[in-house]
Chain A
Amino acid sequence: MAYVVLRHRDIPDLNKFDTYKNNGGLDAFKKAVTEMKPADVTDVVKNSGLRGRGGAGFPTGMKWSFIDNKNWPHYVVANADESEPGTFKDREIMESNPFQFLEGLMLASYAVGANVAYVYLRGEFWEIGAALDEKIAQLEEAGYLGDKLFGTDYSLRIHTHLGAGAYICGEETALLESLEGKRGQPRVRPPFPPSFGLYGKPTIINNVETFTNVPMILANGADWYKTMGTADSAGVKIFSLSGRVRRPGNYELPFGTTFRELIYGEKNGAGVQDSRQVKAIMPAGASSSLIVVNGDEKILDTPMDYATVRTLGADLGSASIIVLDDTVSMDWLVNKTVHFFKHESCGKCTPCREGTFWMKNITERIHDGAGTQGDVDLLLNVAKQMQGKCLCALGEFATMAVTTGIERFPQDFKKAVKA
C-alpha cells in the first residue's frame, strides 16, 4: 500500500519544494482557496473520520467546527512539541515530508479563517525549525503564502516558534501560554481554545501528524480515507515502535493492525530482541497503562484502534508502542516513568507537584533495595489519590504505569522489596 503520511518513503527528495509540487503537492490548497468555501473544507475532514493524532483522538473536523466565528482574528497552531517518551513520528514527518505537513496546516488555516498560523516546536528541534523556516520562505516566494493568495482575498503567514525543553508544553493550553511568552503552565478549561486560545482569540491546535493527513484527504476524498482503518478509527496511523524489538522505528499502518503484526512483522519490528517473550506493552508511551501480555497470544492479536485497545485496560494515545520483554522488572520501569513525570510536572497544581515528588521518593527507595511492602502500598495510595484531581492530564499520566504496574505485576514489586 502506498504511504499516506510517510510518503517520503515512496518518493525520494519529497522534502524539496519541486519534488513535492511535481507529485501533486499544494494542488489541494490552491483548489480549496480558489474553489471551496472554508466550511466545505471542514466538512470533508469531518466526513473522513480523521481523529487527532496527538493522543486524545478527538475528531478533527468537529474541533474545527467549534471555532468561534463571533470573535476575530483566528489562529491555527501546530503542536510540534513531541516529547512523550516513545514518540518520534512528528520529527520524521517534519524532517522528510515537511511540505505535506505545512500544506495541512495551511488547509486548516483556510478552513477556520486564520491569517496567521504558528508551528510550536520543542526547542530541541532547533535544526528542524531552521529547515521549516526555509520551506516557509519557499512557499512565500512561490505565492502559496502571503497576501491575497491566487488573486483571492485570503492571506496567510506561518511562523515557527521554539519551546525550550518542557514536556508540559505539549498540553495545548500550556503550549499557548508558552507561545505567549510565559511559563508553560496549563490553563483552567473551559473555555477551550476554539473560543479562547492564543492571545485570548479563537484558536485551533492540532498535532503535526493530524495536519499531515489533511492534504491527502482533500486530494482523494473523505470516502477514500475511510477505506483504510476501522469504523471507529479511520485511516492510517504512524506507530512509533521502541523498546526491546529488533527493528525499532516508525511504521505507518492502518488502524486495526494487530500488535503482533507491528511487533513481529518482518517489515515492521521483526520480533523481540534475543527472541525473548513479550511481557507487557505500553501503547501510549510513558503515559500509558501497562498491558499484560506474558506471552498471551490473544492479547498480541488485538487490533490497534482507539476502542479495542481500551478493552485491554489502556489507551492507544499517540500510538507510541513500547515493548517490554521478560527481562524488564516493573519496579525498575515505574522508577523511570516517575522520574520523568516528577521532572516535567509544571508545579501549578498541588496534587501533581506533590504527588510526583512523593512517588519519586518512594520509587527510589524501592529501586535502592531499601523499600518494604508498606512502601509499595503507599506508592499505590499516593497514585490513586492523584487520579481525577489534577489540573491537566500530566498528573493523571504520571500515575498510569504506577497503578497498573503494581496491580498487574505485583510479583515484580514483591521481589524488589525487603521481606
Chain B
Amino acid sequence: MSLEKTHPKEVKQILSKYPPEGKRSAVMPLLFLAQREQGYVTKAAMQDIAQLVGITETEVASIVGFYTLYHDEKGGRYRMQVCTDLPCALRGADEFLEKLCDHLGIKVNETTSDGVLTLETVTCLAACDRAPMFQTQGPDGIKYHENMTIDRTRDVIAGLKYAREVK
C-alpha cells in the first residue's frame, strides 16, 4: 500500500519542506519512512516512492544503492554498525569488533540466529573520542553507543525496544 495511505501525515509534512520544483528532494526522507517498517526498502516501496516524487523506479533504486543507510535486503531487526576507521582503531575498535563477533557468535555481515542483530562495519560516525563505538539502526531510528565494552554491549542488546518483535 502507498505511503500516502499508510502515513498520510508524514508524507504531507515531508513534501511541504521543498518547493514544487524540488519535489524530488523528498525521495530520501520517504525512503527512511518506507524502511522503518521492515528494515529494508522493498521493490514495491521503491515503485511507490518513484510515483510520489515523479521519478523512475530505477532512479530510486540507484539512490538506495548509493547511500549506506538504505538497505535493499532483509537483515536483522537491528543492524549493529561498528566504526573501525582510523581514529576508532587507534583506540581499540578492531580488537573490540573481534570480541563482539565472539560474543554474538557471528561474523561481520551475518545475522544472529534469532534474527535480532546483523553485525556490520561502517566508516567514521563522528564519535572518535569515545571509541570503541557502534550505532544501532532499527525500527526506532539510529542510536549511538559509545565507550563500549562487551559488558556494556550486553546491556544495549537487552535494551533494544523492538528486538522481540522480529518480523
Report A's interface with B, CB cutoff 8 A: 82-88, 90-91, 116, 122-127, 130, 159, 161-167, 178-184, 198-199, 240-244, 248-250, 286, 320, 322, 324, 328, 333, 336-337, 340, 343-344, 346
Contact = CB atoms under 8 A, between A and B. Distances in A.
6 contacts: A88-B128, A90-B126, A123-B69, A161-B25, A243-B87, A336-B85
Contact of B129 (A124, A180, A250, A333): A250
B69 A324 contact: no
Contacts of A336: 85-86, 89
A180 B87 contact: no
A264 B85 CA distance: 24
B66 A184 contact: yes
A204 to B, nearest CB: 17
B108 interface: no
Contact of A183 (B31, B63, B124, B142): B63
Given A164-B69, A243-B90, A181 B24 contact: yes
Contacts of B91: 242-243, 248
The 9 closest A-B pairs by CB, nearest first: A164-B67, A165-B68, A181-B24, A248-B129, A242-B128, A165-B69, A85-B124, A181-B27, A164-B69
Interface in B108-167: 122-130, 135, 141-144
Contacts of B87: 85-86, 242-243, 322
B32 to A, nearest CB: 7
Q: Which of B19, B26, B123, B144 has most A Cβ within 10 Å?
A: B123
Nearest to A343: B123
Contact of B86 (A123, A162, A322): A322
A182 B85 CA distance: 27
Most buried by A among B28, B55, B86, B127: B86
Contacts of A162: 28-29, 32
A333 B17 contact: no
Interface in B53-104: 53, 55, 59, 62-63, 66-70, 85-87, 89-91
Nearest to B22: A199
Nearest to A123: B69
Interface string B18-44: 110110111111011000000000000
Contacts of B22: 180-181, 198-199
Q: SS class of chain A's interface: helix, strand, loop or mixed?
A: mixed
Contacts of B86: 85-86, 286, 322, 333, 336-337, 340
Nearest to B128: A242
A324 B90 contact: yes
B142 A126 contact: yes
B90 A182 contact: no
Nearest to B26: A181
Contacts of B32: 123, 162, 164
B22 to A, nearest CB: 5
B128 A340 contact: no
Contact of B141 (A122, A126, A346): A126
A249 B129 contact: yes
Nearest to B62: A183
Contacts of A161: 17, 25, 28-29
B28 A159 contact: no
B69 A244 contact: no
Contact of B24 (A166, A180, A198): A180
Nearest to B90: A243
B58 to A, nearest CB: 12
Which one of B19, B25, B62, B70 has the greatest number of beta carbons of chain A within 10 Å? B25
Contacts of A182: 24, 59, 63
Contacts of A127: 141-144
Contact of B126 (A91, A184, A244): A91
Contacts of B24: 180-182
A343 B85 CA distance: 11
A85 B85 contact: yes
A295 to B, nearest CB: 19
Given A123-B142, A181-B26, A336-B85, A85 B128 contact: yes
A126 B69 CA distance: 11
Nearest to A325: B90
A87 B91 CA distance: 15
Contacts of A123: 32, 67, 69, 142
B129 A241 contact: yes
Given A90-B126, A165-B69, A243-B87, 19 more contacts: A85-B123, A85-B124, A86-B86, A87-B124, A88-B127, A91-B126, A122-B126, A123-B67, A127-B143, A130-B141, A164-B28, A179-B25, A181-B22, A182-B59, A249-B129, A320-B128, A337-B86, A340-B85, A346-B66
A354 B25 CA distance: 30
B142 A244 contact: no
Contact of A344 (B123, B127, B128): B123
Nearest to A85: B124
A225 B35 CA distance: 46
A84 B86 CA distance: 11
A340 B124 contact: yes
Given A163-B28, A336-B85, A244 B124 contact: no
B14 to A, nearest CB: 10
Contacts of A328: 90
